[in-house]
Structure 1
C-alpha cells in the first residue's frame, strides 16, 4: 500500500513538472505563431511606406521583412526594403536585396535604377558603371539609365588629387527621398583625414648594397582640395637622410585642378630644395591632360618639364607621362606608361607600370654628389602592384613588385638589376 501511494505521488510530481514546463513554453509558442505573416501584404506595404517617410524607418523595415517571410517574391516590397537600406547608408544590405530581385527578373527597370544609385551613393563608381552597362543592354537608349551611366563614368575619373591621397565616402542622397529627421542618419561619415606609411626596399645585383626608403604622410581633404604633408626617410650607403614635403591639389574650377609641391632636406641623399607645379584639365570622352614642371636644387638646379595624357575607360585607367630634362649634354627624355584595372573605387585595383629612360623626378635616389646628376642614363623598368581596402574604407593596403635594368651611373655602358618591393598602409578617419 505504501509503495502504491509513493508511486502515485511520484506520478503527480511528474505531471506537475510537465504542466509547469508547458505553461512556461506557451508564451514562446504564441510568439512563434505570431511571426507567421497572415495579413494583407498590400495593406502592410502601404503601412511600411508611411512609416518609412514618417521618421520610423526601422519599424518600416521590420514590417517589410515580415511580409517577405511569406511573399518572398513580392519584388516591390523587397525593392523598397533595399532602398531604405541604401538611404540608411547600409549599401551592402541594399545590394543583396537588389541582386535577389534581378536574379529573378531582369526586366525591372526600377530595380536597375535603384541598384545603380545604391553603388553611386556607396562610393563604388566602377560597380555603378558596370550595372548601368548591363541595364542598357536590356533598356537601350533609356535616358534615365544613360544619365546614371554618365554620372558613374565621371565618378570613375579619379584625379591625382584624390587617388592615393584621401578618399571621401559621403553619401549623395537627394533630399526629397528623406524626411528632415532621417537626413542626419543618412549621412555617412566623411573620412577627411588619412595617415599612411610606405616602405620600399631596393636590392641591387651588384655595386651597391640594399637601400631602404620609408615615407610617413598625413593628408586632409577640404572643400578647396587635398593637402598632403610627408616625411621621407632614406637609408643608403650607410647614411640616413630625411626630406620634408608638402603637396597641394587646389580646385580651380569644375574639371580643373592644380598640383603644387615644395620640399627641403639637409641631407646629400636628397636635393636641398625641390618644388613643382602642374595644371590638370578634364577633356571630353573621359580624357585628362596636364602640363607642369619640377625643380631639384642641389649644387645647381635641375629643371624637369613634364605632363600627362590620361584616359578613363570604365574601370580601365591608362596614363602616359613623359619627362624632359635639359642638361649640358643635351635633352634627356624618359617616359612612363601606367595601367590600372579598378574594382570598386580608387583604393581597389591591379596596376602595371612600365617605363624607359631615367628622370631625377622619379629616380632622385640614383643620383649622388659625385655623379654630377647624370640624367641621360639608359634604363627600363616594370612594376606590378595590387591595392585593396576594407569595406568601410577606413583601411587600405598595397603591395608592389618591380624590376629595373639600369645603366651604372659611373660606368655607363654596363648595367645592374634592381629588384624592388614596396608595401603601404593607410588609415582614414574623420
Structure 2
C-alpha cells in the first residue's frame, strides 16, 4: 500500500516539476519508480522521468543505459544508439552496455554495425562469451554462418558448458547441412489374401537458396516381383509465404505407374493457417489418371493440424478420400509425434493401383501413429511409424481385409 501511495505522490511531484528544466530530488528513488513504470507498460512516463533525472545527473550511466534500452524495446533504435554511444564514449568498460548496444544493432537489422561493435567490445573484454555470442549472431545475420560457427567454437573451447552457445552451434550445423541421404523400409501385413509386401526408399536431398530438391528411388517387393521407380521432388520458393511442390517419376515395372507427375501450390494465410491446391497424374499403359488434391493446415503453439482431400474423377463417378493429420512438435520441426486418420482410397497412395482402371470407390479406413526424433548432434533423424487399415477388396466388393503397416526411416544430414 505504501508503495502505491509513494508512486502516486511521485507522479504528482513529477507533474509539478514538469515545467522545470533540471531535476530536483533523489535520483536513486526516482530511477526505481521509473523502472516500475517501464515494466508496467507506462514507458513514455518512465522515459520522461529518466530524461528529467539526466538533466541533473548526465553521467548516471545506469539511468541512461536503461533509457536507451526502453527506446530499443519500443523500436526507436536511433534514439537508443545515441544514448548507448554517449555512455560508451565516456565509459567503455561497461559490459552490460556493450551487450545492450550490440543487441540494438541486431534488432534494427544492421548486422554489419553489430559485428563492428562486437569487435570493439572484445578489445575491452577479450574472449567474453556473451560478446562472442553476439558477434556470431552478427556474422550469421550477414549470411556468413561458417564464420559464425568458428566464433561459436571459440566460445566452447573456454566455456564448454555454455548452454545457449551449445544450442546455437546445433542450429548453425543444421543450417550448414545442405545435404541429406536417407533410407526407409516398410512392410504391410495382410489378414488374408495377400502375402506381406515390402517397400524401400533411398533418397538424396540438396538444399538450395531456391528450395530443396529430392531425388528418390522407390523399390517395391510384392506379388513375388520386384520393381523400382525413380522420382524427383522439388519445393521451389516463389515469394515470401508461397512455395510450390513439383514431382516427376518414371518406372518400367507394372508395380508402379509408367510416368507420374504433379504440382501443388502452398500459401501461408493469416491466423497461422496455410492452404494448398494441386494435382497428381499417373500414366499407365493405356490411359492417365488425374487426381486433384487440396489441404488446409493450422499451426497453434507446438501443434499442427492438417486436413487433406483427394478427388479422382471417373466414368462411374468421382473417387474421394480424406485424411486428418495431427503433429505435436517438441523442440523443433524434426522432433514430433504424429497421428493420422483417414477414409477412402486415392490412387496417389493406394498400393493396389496397378492398372489404368484406377478409379474405384472402395470403403477404407486407416489410422497411423508416428514418432520422429533426432540424435544429440541433430545430424541423424529417425522415424518410426505404425498403422492399421480396414479396406475393401477391389476384386471382391463387400469383402474386407486388415492391413498392419510398420516402417522405419533414417536420414543423415551433412555439409
1:197 maps to which of 183, 191, 204: 183
Question: Hey, what's the Cα distance between the residues in 1 that align with 2:346 and 2:175?
Answer: 40
CA drift of 1:347 comes to 0.8
SS of residue matched to 2:256 = coil
SS of residue matched to 1:382 = strand
Indicate yes or no: 2:411 matched with 1:426: yes
SS of residue matched to 2:349 = coil
Report the equivalent of 2:337. Answer: 350
1:297 maps to which of 279, 283, 287: 283
Q: Does 1 or 2 have the higher relative contact order (CA < 8 Å, sep 6+)?
A: 1
Report the equivalent of 2:380. Answer: 395
Listed as ranges, the matches of 1:255-404 within 5 Å are 255-298=241-284, 299-363=286-350, 365-369=351-355, 372-404=357-389
Please tell me whether the aligned partners of residues 318 and 359 of structure 2 are also in contact (alpha carbons under 8 angstroms).
no
Report the equivalent of 1:221. Answer: 207
Q: Structure 1 pair 251/43, CA: closer, same or farther in 2 (3 Å)? A: closer
TM-score (norm 1): 0.61
Structure 1: stretches of 5+ with no match in the other structure: 1-41, 65-78, 99-114, 124-168, 172-187
Please tell me whether the aligned partners of residues 242 and 265 of structure 2 are also in contact (alpha carbons under 8 angstroms).
yes
SS of residue matched to 1:327 = coil
CA drift of 1:373 comes to 2.1
Q: Structure 1 pair 340/89, CA: closer, same or farther in 2 (3 Å)? A: farther
Question: Hey, what's the Cα distance between the residues in 1 that align with 2:410 and 2:118?
Answer: 40
Question: Hey, what's the Cα distance between the residues in 2 that align with 1:44 and 1:290?
Answer: 52
Question: Hey, what's the Cα distance between the residues in 2 that align with 1:46 and 1:404?
Answer: 60
Question: Hey, what's the Cα distance between the residues in 2 that align with 1:291 and 1:419?
Answer: 30
Question: Hey, what's the Cα distance between the residues in 1 that align with 2:369 and 2:261?
Answer: 28
Question: Hey, what's the Cα distance between the residues in 2 that align with 1:348 and 1:417?
Answer: 30
SS of residue matched to 1:232 = strand
Structure 2: stretches of 5+ with no match in the other structure: 1-91, 100-115, 138-147
Question: Hey, what's the Cα distance between the residues in 2 that align with 1:302 and 1:51?
Answer: 61
CA drift of 1:368 comes to 2.9
TM-score (norm 2): 0.63
Report the equivalent of 2:231. Answer: 245
Question: Hey, what's the Cα distance between the residues in 1 that align with 2:377 and 2:243?
Answer: 28
CA drift of 1:53 comes to 3.5
Please tell me whether the aligned partners of residues 205 and 212 of structure 2 are also in contact (alpha carbons under 8 angstroms).
yes
CA drift of 1:392 comes to 2.6
Q: Structure 1 pair 122/310, CA: closer, same or farther in 2 (3 Å)? A: farther
CA drift of 1:328 comes to 1.7
Deviations 1:89-111 (A, max 9, x none): 47x9899768xxxxxxxxxxxxx
Please tell me whether the aligned partners of residues 51 and 60 of structure 1 are also in contact (alpha carbons under 8 angstroms).
no
Q: Structure 1 pair 362/48, CA: closer, same or farther in 2 (3 Å)? A: same
Listed as ranges, the matches of 1:64-213 within 5 Å are 88-89=151-152, 169-170=171-172, 190-213=176-199
Please tell me whether the aligned partners of residues 193 and 428 of structure 1 are also in contact (alpha carbons under 8 angstroms).
yes
